[in-house]
Structure 1
Amino acid sequence: MVPSRQPVVDTPTPPVSAVPVAHRWNAVVWVLFGLLPPAIAVSDAAPGVKFTTYGLLAVLTFSYAAVAMFPGNPVLRPPVYLTVLAVGIGAVAYVMGSGAALFIVSLPHFWIYASGPAAALSFSGGAAVLTALASAAGRDPEPRIPTGDAAFIALGYLVGAGVGLLVHRISEQGEERAQRLTNQLADTQAELAEAHRRQGAADERERLAREIHDTLAQGFASIIVLAEAARAGLTSEPGRATQQLTSIEQTARENLAEARALVGATPPPGGAVQGSVSTTLRRILDRFAEDTGIAVDAELADADCDQQTRIALLRCTQESLANVRKHAGASTVIVVLAHGPYGIDLEITDDGRGFDVGAARGFGLDGMRKRLAELGGELTVTSSLGDGTRILASLPTFTSGHQELV
């Protein structure tokens, strides 16, 4: 038995057919086993019985076709169709003297088109009583309580009611489960969206922290070191102190430009993202040697790379030089920018005191690793106590193939 219709939910449905598959199969069964047998049975009957039966069957057929094809038509509402169906079955039973088979085959219609179980039971019950009485009246001018048809009609009604209620209950439970799953899916989607939002905010905070560490923090550290040196040499080395004050001013201006770039007030500083990467690195190395007095030996290939790669190489160089200045105690730094087998390699080596890589903790190295990983590159750090440090940044970027050294 097919469950009653439920309120329509405004959800997209595949435009395959306006009638569910189960309803179409029910229509086929109804025509083959409900309408054809009476039509065949009266084919040899008297003209009055035959044509009256044909007419009643035609009315039932067209009524069903109308309500199935135009379910939204107010004139063809399901209660109207079910009333026509019940009366039509009773009329056929009256004309033929028997209607049990047609009633039993038609039972699913009451559950398909009724508004709920109570309406289905009421309509099918009324049709059962009408069919039983019409069958008795059609066989005998003086109606009496029939035995065979009445028993089949009653049994069919009870079985149909039981199956209909069971299927309706199963359908309700399925809809409840579907609604729970829909609610859970909506909750999960909301939680996932919130998690994405939080992750996005965390990623943005981490990106800003890395940018601040690699730019502003390093600049302020340089300003502090230069200011301390300038103050110490004001009397003994006034020329050197003046040079250091000039470096302080220049570093402060660069920091201001970096700060504006971070908040989006102005484009990033030109030296950070424009021009040849070798030229930019040469300027940074010259400034580092001038500020610290550490000797710098550089071999910089003229590498043609995209903006993000240039920024990554620049930041790695700045962080490595800052670590040399603060921790290494080195006298010489060697910087090599070269084309590797899969991209471009930046190698920075110092002859300082070195450190235990496994025990190292800090934001700088971790920030470099993450910055390179975002571009598909990797960072290799080799160091040991007393043997200096080697930083190798490898990026899978395309280059123009020029090998000029500057």
Structure 2
Amino acid sequence: MAQREVRWIPPVLYTVVLAGGLYHAAVTAGGSHPARLAVFTVGLVVLLALEVPGRLVRLPAAALLAARVVLFTAVAAVDGSGVSRALFVLVPFTAYLAFGRRAALGSAVGCVGLLLAGFTVLVPHWWVESAYVSDLLMFGLGLALALSMAGVAVREQEARARLERSHERLARYAERVAELSTAEERNRVAREIHDSLGHHLTAVGVQLEKAEAFRELDPAASARALGDARWSAGRALAEVRESVSALREVRPFSLARSLADLVRHLGDDGLRVELSVTGEESGHDGGALTTLYRAAQEALTNARRHGRATRVEIRLALDGPAARLTVTDDGRGFARGAEPGHGIRGMRERVALLGGEVDIRTGRPGGSDGSAGSGGSGGVTVTVTVPRRAPAVAATPAAAPAAVTAAVVAG
């Protein structure tokens, strides 16, 4: 409340008026009548009591203002010094604090009218007396100062309230941003775990099953499968370490080299993978390149695990206004209306964050297009497009060779 900022003003004025009235009674010949002096003193003491914080008697604002006006009138009626007329400047002052500017202006006009009426009734031709005219002018000046002070206090309080509300809104916004950031980080970590560890653990499981199946029939194939499983486990551990290191520093990432390494170590003799990479990586930031790599991982995992594909073709084009990754397999495809798994949803989320698109089609060329395929045959084609953006970290020549063209076959 604005009253808290200026609550010292009424008690100070009451004290000054009380001291002035008592001094006048003491120095005036014959003094004041004891009863009048008692009423004067008691009235000011009651007014002081009304300003005590946490008082026992709490009155509504209108009743409190009315009580002050009655006490001001009683004190002024018994005050021989006339100094108590200054109390009436508190009427518009307190009215401003309690009811606003209009009520304060109305009460100020009423106080001036009351003073004029009193002078007219009690003092004939008062307007020719300089003392009364001076009193009227000083009273008007006091009212103006009181209204100005009350207005400043109210505006300051309103500004403080707006600032507090702004702080509260900012605090709520900060909490909301923190919640959204936490949720986004959880989603990112979930995608990273699925796309990285999930891929390699799937490969480890496939290779271990193969090693067990060929342990007696073909020991050499079983040994190769175990070696590939060890490589996948090692690669999973390396990617975990890279992810942890990425939290501390940014390192250049070569998509072409990572894809070639992935293709060379697939380790499934029944799957043939062809890789073709064209264009320069230096025109794309690390986030886009990592997203394309995760998309290739997910597409290869689905082709092997769900599509039972025997041949996969990976084409990566980094030239042009956007990077385009196309992964085509000859597997079983998927049924019309099939719900996408966590990996596909994570892929779409990653790409959408970069302003790119994911298109998944099943069926042979000329067959079904779109995610809702005819199902059952024809393989799957996954196309991921990510617009070119300025790289966050300048790539090294080894990380992004100019005009890269690579062809790697694993099988």
Q: Give TM-score, length-normalised by structure 1.
A: 0.57
**In the aligned structure 2, how far is the partner of 1:140 from the partner of 1:245?**
118
Cα separation, 2, equivalents of 1:241 and 1:6? 86
Residue identity over aligned pairs, in percent, reads 26
Cα drift, residue 193 of structure 1: 0.6
Post-superposition offset of 1:263: 3.5
The residue number in structure 2 matching 1:287 is 265
2:84 is matched with: none
Find the counterpart in structure 2 of residue 239 from structure 1: 220
Say how many residue pairs are matched: 287
Work out which of the residue numbers 384, 390, 394 in structure 1 matches 2:385: 394
Give me the whole-angstrom Cα distance separating, in 1, the residues matched to 2:129 and 2:298.
108
| Residues 1:338 and 2:317 are matched in the alignment | yes
The alignment partner of 1:263 has SS state of helix
Equivalent residues in 2 for 1:171-186 (5 A)? Answer: 172=154, 178-186=159-167
Identify the residue that residue 275 of structure 2 maps to in structure 1: 298
The residue matched to 1:236 in structure 2 has which SS?
Answer: coil
Matched residue SS, 1:360? coil
Shift of 1:320: 0.6
Q: 1:175 to 1:353 in 2, by over 3 A?
A: same
Q: CA offsets, 1:243-284, max 9 Å, x none? A: 1111111111111122233334998998xx544x33331221
Q: Is the 8 A contact 1:320 1:348 kept in 2?
A: yes
Note if contact 2:295-2:347 (Cα within 8 Å) is conserved in structure 1: yes
Instruction: Please list, as runs of the form range in 1=range in 2, the aligned pairs for 1:45-60 lying within 5 A after superposition.
Output: none
- CA–CA distance in 1 between the matches of 2:198 and 2:304? 14
Residue 317 of structure 1: how far off its partner (Å): 0.8
Going from structure 1 to structure 2, the CA distance change for 1:205 and 1:319 (only over 3 Å counts) comes to same
Report deviation, 1:324. 0.7
Aligned: 1:354 with 2:333: yes
State the one-letter code of the partner of 2:276: E
Residues 258 and 269, structure 1, Cα contact 8 Å, conserved in 2: no
1:349-388 mapped onto 2 (5 Å cutoff): 349-356=328-335, 358-383=337-362, 384=373, 385=375, 386-388=377-379
5+ long unaligned stretches in structure 2: 7-87, 99-103, 363-372, 390-399
Q: Deviations over 1:145-181 (max 9, x none)?
A: x8xx69x949x96999699779958974x66655544
**Structure 1 residues 5 and 339 mapped into 2: Cα distance closer, same or farther (>3 Å)?**
same
Q: CA RMSD in A?
A: 5.0
Tell me, yes or no, if the aligned pair for 1:257 and 1:268 is still in contact at 8 Å.
no
d(CA) in 1 for partners of 2:265, 2:326: 18
| Distance (whole Å) between structure 1 residues aligned to residue 357 and residue 351 of structure 2 | 6
Greater length-normalized contact order (CA 8 Å, ≥ 6 residues apart) = 2
Distance 1:355 1:371 in 2: 22
* TM-score when normalising by structure 2: 0.56
Unaligned runs of 5+ in 1: 9-106
Q: Give the C-alpha shift of residue 350 in structure 1.
A: 0.9
Select which of 289, 301, 307 maps to 1:328: 307
Relative to structure 1, the CA distance from residue 139 to residue 166 in structure 2 (aligned partners, 3 Å threshold; closer, same or farther) is closer
Q: Distance in 2 between matches of 1:266 and 1:196?
A: 20
The offset of 1:111, in angstroms, is 8.0
